[in-house]
Amino acid sequence: MSLACAACPVRDSAACSVLEEEEREALARTGRTREIKRGELLFAAGDESTACATLVSGALKVSSVDQDGVERILALIHPAGFVGELFAPFAEHDVIALSDSRVCLFGRADLDRAIETHPALGRALLRRSQEDLHESRRLLELAGRKNAGDRVGGLLLALAHAASDSPCHPAARFDLPLTRGEMASVLGLTIETVSRSLTALVGSGAIRKTGGRGIELLDPARLEASSA
């Protein structure tokens, strides 16, 4: 399927938004969209890196599997996010869909050419890369907290921010995009500990569970630095 930028939900926030209309059209002709089902692999660690992608809708995870077969989630990708190796010859990590997703795929060569001819695109990708770096460091802080409860609280807050339309306020109510196992894998905990921490947070009145995946933040301040 070829690209339909006009109707793209991230046309104003993805890296390609810095391009002029005709430049975008040119790039669009070289790319294509792809649907990915939950759990499906977009890129595999070690694969030759021949393509990059912008996430249009859904959510992705960047993960690796450590020596004893336990998955470790290294990054969460939200719509308008960019994944893929721009320089390294091989993919470093797996990229997998957390939920049914849609991406825009670009060949490395085409993308290189586009960056070459449109410096603004390069700058946009640089900006995004720096944001990814900050995000990664935030995750490092999060996963390094001492109490399991603090980690889970921090993750909830981060997910609430990601789910919010407003960039600076967390959503008061949102659906968890992650299973307990995935939350555990992000935080370096076990499923059981995540579950227990959540029930503790409910018990302390900081959050409430609404329906299956729903979470309501009752006391966001408490989550910031809770010894709950």
How many CA atoms lie within 13 Å of 225's alpha carbon, on the beta-carbon side?
Answer: 0
Comparing CA positions, the residue from 51, 114, 58, 112 lying closest to residue 83 is 51
* Residue closer to DNA (CB basis): 38 or 127: 38
Residue 212 binding: pick among a copy of itself, DNA, none (C-beta 5-8 Å cut-off by kind): DNA
Residue 180 binding: pick among DNA, a copy of itself, none (C-beta 5-8 Å cut-off by kind): DNA
Residue 92 binding: pick among DNA, a copy of itself, none (C-beta 5-8 Å cut-off by kind): a copy of itself
What is the closest distance, in whole angstroms, from the C-beta atom of residue 68 to DNA in the complex? 8
Q: How far is CA 73 from the centre of its chain?
A: 10
List the interface residues with a copy of itself, window 68-97 (CB under 8 A).
Answer: 68, 70, 72, 74-75, 85-88, 92-93
> For residue 61, which phi and psi values (nearest 5 degrees)?
-125, 145
Scanning 23-31, 117-125, 200-208, 213-221 for contacts with a copy of itself by CB under 8 A, the matching segment is 117-125
Residue 209 binding: pick among DNA, a copy of itself, none (C-beta 5-8 Å cut-off by kind): DNA
Strand partners, 101: 36
Q: Please state, in angstroms and rounded to a whole number, the distance separating the CA atoms of residues 162 and 167.
A: 8
Eight-class DSSP state of 89: S
Site string for DNA, 56-95 (x = CB under 7 A): ----------------------------------------
- The answer to whether 86 and 52 are in contact (CB under 8 A) is yes
Sole binder of a copy of itself in the list 1, 7, 21, 134 (CB under 8 A): 134
Sole binder of DNA in the list 2, 64, 147, 210 (CB under 7 A): 147
Q: Is residue 184 classed as helix, strand or coil in its secondary structure?
A: helix
Residue 133 binding: pick among DNA, a copy of itself, none (C-beta 5-8 Å cut-off by kind): a copy of itself
Comparing CA positions, the residue from 78, 95, 61 lying closest to residue 10 is 78
- Residue ranges in the chain assigned as alpha helix (H): 21-30, 108-117, 119-144, 148-163, 180-187, 191-203, 220-224
Strand partners, 95: 43, 62
- The residues that touch a copy of itself, with contacts defined as CB under 8 A, are 62, 64, 66-68, 70, 72, 74-75, 85-88, 92-93, 115-116, 119, 122-123, 125-127, 129-134, 136-137, 139-141, 143-146, 188, 224-225
